């Protein structure tokens, strides 16, 4: 994991408006190409959960910027199938994947207390949000594969958003589920193995059940986001 520190930048509403105007006119691939025209590689933090259809975004980045590091938040509670999918995609695309985890002490606390049952917000905060906060300050741009149709919160986003002191970049934001699946099938990308078992949004094994879109996440709970993208 790089310890390099980039010069932090704050973006005005007008700068964000112009960025979004420019990127809305581009295809997904051209958005990623343009990203490296507007920002240097060491400013970019790309995260992936290696869930559902991660092959789409990762294959595009691998083709355009193969040296880009991929940060994987290893909560310690992933399905075995997710870890196998991560290995498969890493080998297939030659990905440079860096795992980010909670401290051993923090993770042990959530395991012993089964925090996901009593306080899923706290469990996500300890095992996802806090570990990423420790490295987020090194970057200016955070790339993730959020899409409008996935939740009400995500439907309110734009391609670029400044949140939590970093510029968020969602190159897939306006891709429909039909477009996503067509793209994956046309390029013969591998789907996450749990999709065949009825899972369509895949997180930690304690908090994920089969379901359409994100309905299988935090089942029987009003929670719809882990907190990373709020």
Q: Are strands 166-169 and 160-163 parallel, antiparallel or unpaired?
A: antiparallel
Q: 141 and 43 in contact (C-beta within 8 Å)? A: yes
> Do the Cβ atoms of 140 and 201 come closer than 8 Å?
no
Q: Which residue has the tokens 């990762």?
A: 58
Give the gyration radius of the chain's Cα atoms: 17
For tokens 């994947």, what's the residue?
97
Question: Which residue in 48, 228, 205 sits closest to 125, CA to CA?
Answer: 228
Cα 112 to Cα 117: distance, rounded to the nearest angstrom? 11
> Two tokens at 61?
């980045």
Per the structure block, which two tokens stand in for 29? 């691939």
Question: What are the catalytic residues?
Answer: 226
């Amino acid at each position: 994991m790089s310890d390099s520190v980039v010069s932090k930048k704050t973006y005005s509403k007008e700068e964000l408006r112009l960025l979004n105007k420019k990127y809305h006119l581009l295809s997904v691939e051209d958005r990623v190409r343009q990203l490296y025209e507007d920002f240097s590689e060491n400013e970019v933090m790309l995260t992936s959960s290696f869930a559902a259809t991660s092959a789409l975004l990762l294959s595009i980045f691998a083709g355009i910027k193969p040296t880009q590091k991929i940060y994987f938040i290893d909560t310690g509670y992933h399905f075995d199938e997710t870890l196998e999918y991560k290995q498969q995609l890493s080998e297939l695309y030659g990905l440079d994947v860096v795992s980010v985890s909670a401290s051993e002490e923090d993770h042990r606390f959530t395991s012993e207390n089964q925090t996901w049952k009593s306080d899923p917000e706290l469990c996500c905060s300890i095992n996802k949000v806090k570990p990423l906060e420790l490295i987020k300050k090194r970057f200016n741009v955070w790339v993730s594969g959020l899409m409008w149709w996935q939740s009400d919160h995500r439907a309110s986003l734009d391609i670029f958003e400044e949140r939590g002191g970093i510029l968020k970049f969602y190159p897939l934001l306006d891709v429909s589920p039909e477009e996503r699946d067509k793209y994956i099938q046309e390029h013969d990308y591998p789907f996450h193995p749990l999709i065949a078992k009825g899972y369509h949004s895949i997180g930690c094994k304690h908090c994920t059940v089969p379901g359409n879109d994100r309905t299988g996440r935090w089942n029987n709970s009003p929670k719809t986001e882990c907190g990373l993208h709020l």
